[in-house]
Amino acid sequence: MFGFKRAGGTVCNHVRIHTPLQGERGVFISKPAWAELSSSALAHIPASLVITAELATRSVIVDQCCKLLGEHVADDAVHLALFLLTEKAIGATSQWKWYLDTLPHSPINALDFGESDMAALSGTPLRPAIEAKLRQLRRHYDSIASALENWKRSHKLNGSVSFDTYKWAHTIVLSRSISLQSCENASMYGTCDRALLPFLDMFNHSSHPTAFWTVNDDKSISICAANTSDTPQACPDNPQLVELCFYYGDKPNTEWIYEYGFLPNDNDHDAWPFFVELQGSLNFKELKQLWFQELGLLPRIMLPDPATAGENQDLPFDTLLVLCLAALDDACDQFGCKVGLVELDPPYFSVNGRLIDDPELLVHVPGLASWALQKCAFLLEKQSLVMQDASQLPELKSVVRKYLETQCKLTKRLAALIALVEI
């Protein structure tokens, strides 16, 4: 915290950074001081310490790398990752060394899961997300590796500009950057979205937040105590300290573990990302893809946890539409017997001789919705069993085992619910 203050940040008295004997590093305040707070400012981050893409491109090498990647690739996250990579390579003479010293030295999210963890995650939506991200980072790095090495050599630097360091930088951005657009006064930063905010990124998550942040008219950031009746969680090894926390947002467990590398307890917003597989002949699959594009649909639906979804557990129309469109099959005799004969009539098709040229007509094809839902329930039950077996494997990270266990139960609940849906 000394470096943050020296750089121009301010923190109120009695607030401290502390790492409990059994727990994560976080921001704490003494109990007596908390009792006296009432929506008071806890800290102030001047605009000069808000690390944005615009600030990052003041660096010649970051700007050069972003131009090599192109505007469509070099988004805010890439700018911030390159900023961290190059400042880390500069080392002791970097004006941001005080901030770099506060960051974790080893990866803290799913991008660094080992082979055994990745094997256990086979068939889950998490594994392909991790693999896709790593492939993307490798493509990025291959495009800028020469420029980074030349820059390092010309400046006679000893710091690493390797792919592993580039990946580390992205894990930091993924887990610690803040969306400025989530704040009411976001217009102060124009179209800028992601930013790294020193000190603010040390606040842990809680479903009962005791602090919040806001953007001021001068682009500075204020962190304030929340006006809440909730009692902050006491520090395990020092009962006289209570932790100050933010609420990170409503996310399913797959996003939590992917972005942050941990799972919150009792997540009321869990959901399963169900990826549909298009059935039928090659020509029919291509026709379906056109329908998906025209209707603005994705081959993925989010199925909220029935345990926390409330009384209304009806499937949204778009969810049913995606399942029905994917399940249509012009090459399966069993489908023909259960639902009917499918014939192509591009850009449409017919079922049992009736032209289907509208989403409403599609979902009301007799027998189709029941067929699609049964198929979905079967796949969910199958995935639940796979994750149950995988969770028993030895040498898994505890967070991976917890993810598999929670998602096994979730998919089992969803399979049971969908099997009972009446159309």
pTM of the model: 0.91
| Phi, psi dihedrals of residue 288, rounded to the nearest 5° | -65, -40
**Chain centroid, CA 381 distance in Å:** 25
Nearest partner of 31 among 282, 245, 253, 239, judged by Cα: 239
Q: What pLDDT sits at residue 187? A: 73
Report CA-CA distances (Å) from 340 to 202, 319, 326, 331, 333. Answer: 58, 22, 15, 11, 9
Task: Locate 39 and state its tokens.
Answer: 């929506």
As annotated, the residues of the chain forming the CATH 3.90.1410.10 domain(s) are 53-179
Task: Locate 125 and state its tokens.
Answer: 């939506």
- For domain 2-50+197-260, the question of CATH label 2.170.270 is answered with yes
pLDDT, tens only, 150-171:
999 999 999 999 999 999 999 9
% residues pLDDT > 90 (the chain)? 78
Q: What pLDDT sits at residue 32? A: 85
**What is the CATH number assigned to the segment(s) 53-179?**
3.90.1410.10
pLDDT, tens only, 378-419:
999 999 999 999 999 998 999 999 999 999 999 999 999 998
125 — pLDDT class (breaks 50, 70, 90)? very high
Nearest partner of 15 among 51, 40, 46, judged by Cα: 40
pLDDT, tens only, 322-374:
999 999 999 999 999 999 999 999 999 999 999 999 999 999 999 999 999 99
Q: What pLDDT sits at residue 311? A: 61
Residue 154 one-letter amino acid: S
186 — pLDDT class (breaks 50, 70, 90)? low
Residue 344 one-letter amino acid: L
DSSP string, 188-203: GGTT--EEB-TTGGGP
| Neighbouring residues of 375: CB distance < 8 A, sequence distance ≥ 6 | 323, 327
Residue 5 one-letter amino acid: K
Q: What pLDDT sits at residue 14? A: 87
Peptide bond before 347: cis, by omega within 30 degrees of 0?
yes
Nearest partner of 189 among 222, 215, 223, judged by Cα: 215
Q: Which contiguous run of DSSP H or E holds residue 224?
A: strand 221-225
pLDDT, tens only, 212-228:
999 998 999 999 988 77
As annotated, the residues of the chain forming the CATH 2.170.270 domain(s) are 2-50+197-260
End-to-end CA distance of the chain: 59
Separation between Cα atoms, residue 182 and residue 412, nearest integer Å: 34
If you ran DSSP here, which 8-state letter would residue 288 be given? H
Give the pLDDT mean for 109-116.
92
Q: Is 272 exposed, middle or buried (0-12, 13-18, 19+ CB in 10 A)?
A: buried
**Whether the predicted pLDDT of 230 surpasses 90:** no
